[in-house]
Amino acid sequence: MTQQAERHRPVLDRVETPADLRRLPETQLRQLADELRAEVIDAVSVTGGHLGAGLGVVELTTAIHYVFETPDDKLIWDVSHQCYPHKILTGRKDRIRTLRQGGGLSGFTSRAESVYDPFGAAHSSTSISAGLGHAIARDHKGAHNQVISVIGDGAMSAGMAYEAMNNAGALRSRMVVILNDNDMSIAPPVGAMSAYLSRILSSRSYRSVRGAMRDLSHQFPRPVREAARRAEEYTRGLFTGGTLFEELGFYYVGPIDGHNLEHLLPVLRNVRDTEGGAPILVHCVTQKGKGYEPAEGAADKYHGVAKFDVVTGKQAKPTPQAPSYTGTFAKALIQEAEADDRVMAVTAAMPGGTGLDKFGARFPERTFDVGIAEQHAVTFCAGLACEGMKPFAAIYSTFLQRAYDQVVHDVAIQNLPVRFAIDRAGMVGADGVTHQGSYDVTYLGTLPNFTLMAAGDEAELMHMVATAAAFDAGPIAVRYPRGEGLGVAMPERGQVLEIGKGRVVREGTKVAILSYGGRLGEACTAADELAARGLSTTVADARFAKPLDRDLVRRLAQEHEVLLTVEEGAIGGFATQVMSFLAEHGLLDHGLKIRPMHLPDRFIDHDKPYQQYEAAGLNAHHMVAKALDALGIADAAATADLTRTAARGSFRAV
């Protein structure tokens, strides 16, 4: 913390844990919230990260920890990208400037990091399900702690949230769901009257009267009883907009101003002191980026930022040296859509992250953002494909995992030509383990009918988008990493590739490196180093994992003493396809030394991408060391590389 920051945060300096917070007089909470907001802004300006969402829940975070007895009371954040204020108040203030840095705090909640994080999260719409699990376990143990799940209005677009609410409403276990509505997509305007109604409706006296009237109504015939119940609920719904939640079995309170502590505190106290009965939903309206003018004025409310200047808000983004893969995908897809009006694009709440914001600006009528609903996105694309459209499902690798059943049943079994554009393949840096694209080659490679491609550079990505657009024989996927390309010469437009054919980047005779995807540049660097040692090395870009270029693999196996396969994915992926082919055709029977190089069987923590690949053993010097080891060539530096990589076998918690 800077000296200037210390002088202006006297209340926050007295708070190390929520117990300290609860000892403050209520009159000091406004100042604490202001200091907490300033601390979040200052910290994220140093580290980068998710800013807008955290600024929007400063008062809400303060109020929850003030009213509830955390950590005995379980506070569960949905997605948890808004948890920076929570981390500052829960014993991690001194480490907040290590956020998202190697060896530092995770950008999300983590059970391994703090007892104040009872459930880890980074994907959306899990908090109500997890909270219900905590609540039922509490009931089974005879405990009496509270369970509070905070979920955003965006996360409420996912079906899992409604599945959980339906189950929670039926089980009637005591839990609190706080709907953080920061997009005004649900709530009517809020103000003094709304706050007054919310305070009354959440009070014990009102709920007692309501319960007494409900008991009295049981004396009447069932039709009259049901009519009275619905009249009461729908009357409250007219004022509050909570009818939907009531129908799911929740007692609805709100909307209230999530930045007004005078509104928040009495409602949360009433909710805390309620005994038994239905689960409660408290509807809070907040503003992303609240209290920081550059964020309030930005279209994305500074959702995710690089390091920035606090005074001006200007982000310190490095000048790109090459086109980004995401930008290249968007450019290529626009070109294909200009040539074919059947090309459509679907994303699940990530138009900017996938580049479809650019596509949408050019073709708004052919762009569909379905919200945080990956399952629906995939089946929606399947329906489009049934009618002869050419849908591209642009979904991060880590998010596509959520729709695997739909990929299997609705796409693969029916052999529908859905095109999957899989961004964020491999390591992703500061977002860490929850956002890494580690598994898609494996989980898609097991499915019949799938064609799998991976781009070795940005020009290859353009060719693969063109190939996918032209391919109608079944589902096809192209994966590509986050960040900049290699700086290769770019074509005016992508050319359609021959399905199942790789390419040789450079020829050699002793060692062959067969790369699938984004490690191609490192493979070429490794070949240079091996050549400098007198070891002639071939580098090949597989391009396809399914169907495999069998002729290429056969030639590499027969003409080289050592064959390395390199991929930025988990075990069971590309190397498995290669080795199965080699084994089935007897190509392992005559002395070939094959060494698969893939992500290790452990989770790799957040860090700079190079350091993550260092931990994974997938950088150029690791390839050199692996080849030398296979050849039995003693090399102290190479042996040290292998030893260091093997020593990183322990899991580092996020």
Q: Which residues are annotated as a binding site for Mg(2+)?
A: 153, 182
In 3D, which of 419, 374, 423 has the Cα closest to residue 400? Answer: 374
Q: Peptide bond before 71: cis, by omega within 30 degrees of 0?
A: yes
As annotated, the binding site includes 81, 122-124, 153-155, 182, 292, 374
Sheet containing strand 390-394, edge to edge, reads: 367-369, 343-347, 390-394, 419-425, 476-481, 451-454, 544-546
Q: Which two tokens stand for residue 426?
A: 């491999």
In angstroms, the CA 161 to CA 6 distance is 41
Q: Active site includes 59?
A: no
End-to-end Cα spacing for the chain: 23
Q: Active site includes 374?
A: yes
Alpha-helix runs per DSSP H in 241-350: 243-247, 261-273, 293-297, 325-339
Work out the angle between the directed axes of helices 192-201 and 261-273 (0-180°, nearest 10).
Answer: 10
**CA 33, 39, 45, 48 torsion: positive or negative?**
negative
Tell me which DSSP letter residue 97 carries.
G
Q: Please tell me which residue in 9, 93, 138, 288 is annotated as part of the active site.
A: 288
Q: Active site includes 275?
A: no
Number of neighbours of residue 230 by Cβ within 10 angstroms: 14
In angstroms, the CA 137 to CA 149 distance is 15
In 3D, which of 535, 542, 568 has the Cα closest to residue 556? Answer: 542
CB hemisphere CA count around 621 (13 angstroms): 16
Question: What number of residues does the chain have?
Answer: 654
Q: Are 80 and 114 in contact (CB under 8 A)?
A: no
Q: Please tell me which residue in 74, 402, 479, 543 is annotated as part of the active site.
A: 402
Burial (CB count <10 Å: 0-12, 13-18, 19+), residue 44: buried
In angstroms, the CA 104 to CA 98 distance is 5
What share of residues in the chain are helix, strand, coil (percent, to 5)? Answer: 50, 15, 35
Burial (CB count <10 Å: 0-12, 13-18, 19+), residue 357: middle
Map 324-368 to HEC letters: EHHHHHHHHHHHHHHHCCCEEEEECCCHHHHCHHHHHHHCHHHEE
Please name the residue that has the structure tokens 């010469």: 489
In 3D, which of 406, 414, 518 has the Cα closest to residue 460? Answer: 518
As annotated, the binding site for thiamine diphosphate includes 81, 122-124, 154-155, 182, 292, 374
Residues belonging to the active site: 288, 374, 402
